[in-house]
């Protein structure tokens, strides 16, 4: 078993762990446990004696404290699943050693090119070893880079008694990409006081704010009748649903928003003449903005339905996660220590927001404050995904420094 962060990463990404949003099981795909079993075995091999995979697909482990100080118990967390947005089967990682700059054409599909103009962070990777796929699958740096970094840091901490630290917990979760990453996590068994996910992008970044997020289902019941006798009587549910989607404000779409702007985003549409269903996600950094967008959405539905007096609708809102900043602002040392760890690892820290969410979004509101640290990957959920070895090594160093800072300042 090799023990560098790169060799671990390359070993993990070839294991298919895509989650499935249509599945009702936990985990949503059994193949996620294939990686979970490997990770539990590797943790045991480096000295994490209690490492194990549970029936729900979670990997837990503990590094005991080597100090007498009363140090808060820290958890480092990453997710094992990859996104269902693009194939994760048969990943063929490519390592471009000593990257010299310029666009990267992917050999398995030369039509796919990682262009510097679209990925400006490549300008900071000159001389690095850059990992991509062959262009036919996603890479899985989201979030197998984070997993490789946590295990590599754990091996260094265990092997070096001079690294003083409190109790450290390790958690690898399934199903994060489909919004169920912490549905069955056992926080009592985990026993952590604070946590950090390693699920971010650019080296040096710490994210202490996420979107607040809801899912919306709109069910339309139309009036079905034989099309030969439909004049003045038929109310086609597919047409009604299409009219609703057409009325969504273009300036509130993901493709037209950035920064702290939220959005309304239809993710699925299915139907027949009698019934149709629209699935959407709603995102905003404030709860007020979230509710305003949901009210606007219902106003649109009602307005469209006025032209269809025989039809009806049902709109259901499901809470997905909330902005972690509300919790983290009450615990400033958690982020401040992370910023200092990044400085000690040789980088200038950047504090920012995520236009999305992590397991930490929900963990924070479950009583486990949890900001997000960089893992080094880029272009997540696509065949253009890439990560550099050197950035993964910086994340390893950040984890080690962070464990020491909490011990020093206890």
| Known active-site residue 175 | no
How far apart, in whole angstroms, are the C-alpha atoms of residue 61 and residue 169?
6
Q: Catalytic annotation on 103? A: no
Interior angle at CA 78, CA 130 and CA 157, nearest 5: 85
Q: What are 65's two structure tokens? A: 């404290």
Q: Give me the catalytic one of 81, 235, 359, 407.
A: 81
Using an 8 Å Cβ cutoff, are 403 and 12 in contact? no
Task: Count other Cβ atoms within 10 Å, centred on residue 306.
Answer: 7
What is the H or E stretch that residue 221 is in?
A: strand 212-221
- Show the tokens assigned to 333: 């040392």
Nearest residue to 213 via CA among 289, 280, 295, 290? 290
The CA-based dihedral angle spanning residues 61, 144, 177, 78, taken in that order and rounded to the nearest 10 degrees: 30
- What backbone phi and psi angles, to 5 degrees, belong to 351? -100, 130
Integer Cα distance of 36 and 55 in angstroms:
11
Do residues 129 and 32 lie in contact, with contact meaning Cβ atoms separated by under 8 Å?
no
How is 382-396 classified by DSSP, letter by letter? Answer: STT-BEEHHHHHHHH
Number of Cβ within 10 Å of residue 32's Cβ equals 25
* Residue 23 token pair: 């599945």
Report the Cα–Cα distance between both ends of the chain, in Å, rounded: 35
CA angle, 242 as apex, 240 and 244 as ends, to 5°? Answer: 70
Could you say which of 42, 143, 176, 235 is catalytic? 176
What is the rounded CA–CA span in Å between residue 231 and residue 250?
32
Cβ neighbours around 11 below 10 Å, total: 17
Q: So which residues are the catalytic ones? A: 81, 176
């Amino acid at each position: 078993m090799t023990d560098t962060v790169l060799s671990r990463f390359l070993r993990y990404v070839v294991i298919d762990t895509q989650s499935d949003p249509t599945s009702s099981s936990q985990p949503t795909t059994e193949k996620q446990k294939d990686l979970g079993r490997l990770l539990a075995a590797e943790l045991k091999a480096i000295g994490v004696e209690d490492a194990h995979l549970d029936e729900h697909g979670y990997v837990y482990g503990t590094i005991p404290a080597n100090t007498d100080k009363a140090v808060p118990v820290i958890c480092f967390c990453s997710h094992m699943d990859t996104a269902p947005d693009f194939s994760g089967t048969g990943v063929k990682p490519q390592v471009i050693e000593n990257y010299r700059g310029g666009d990267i054409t992917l050999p398995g599909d030369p039509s796919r090119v990682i262009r510097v103009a679209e990925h400006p962070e490549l300008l900071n990777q000159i001389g690095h070893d850059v990992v991509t796929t062959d262009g036919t699958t996603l890479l899985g740096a989201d979030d197998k880079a984070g997993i490789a970094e946590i295990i590599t840091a754990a091996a260094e901490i265990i092997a070096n008694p001079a690294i003083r630290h409190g109790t450290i917990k390790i958690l690898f979760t399934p199903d994060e990409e489909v919004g169920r990453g912490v549905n069955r996590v056992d926080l009592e068994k985990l026993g952590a006081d604070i946590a950090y996910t390693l699920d971010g992008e650019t080296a040096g970044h710490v994210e202490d704010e996420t979107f607040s997020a809801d899912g919306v289902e709109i069910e339309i019941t139309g009036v079905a009748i034989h099309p030969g006798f439909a004049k003045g009587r038929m109310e086609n549910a597919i047409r009604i649903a299409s009219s609703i989607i057409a009325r969504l404000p273009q300036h509130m779409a993901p493709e037209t928003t950035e920064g702290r702007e939220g959005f309304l985003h239809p993710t699925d549409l299915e139907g027949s003449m009698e019934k149709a269903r629209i699935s959407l996600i709603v995102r905003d950094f404030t709860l007020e903005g979230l509710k305003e967008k949901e009210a606007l959405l219902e106003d649109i539905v009602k307005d469209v339905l006025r032209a269809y007096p025989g039809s009806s609708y049902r709109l259901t809102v499901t809470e997905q996660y909330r902005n972690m900043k509300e919790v983290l602002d009450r615990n400033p040392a958690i982020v401040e220590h992370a910023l200092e760890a990044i400085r000690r690892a040789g980088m200038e820290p950047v504090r920012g927001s995520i236009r999305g969410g992590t397991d930490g979004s929900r963990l924070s509101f479950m009583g486990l404050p949890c900001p997000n640290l960089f893992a080094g990957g880029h272009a997540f959920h696509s065949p253009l995904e890439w990560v550099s070895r050197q950035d993964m090594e910086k994340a390893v160093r950040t984890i080690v420094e962070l464990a020491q800072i909490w011990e020093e300042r206890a």
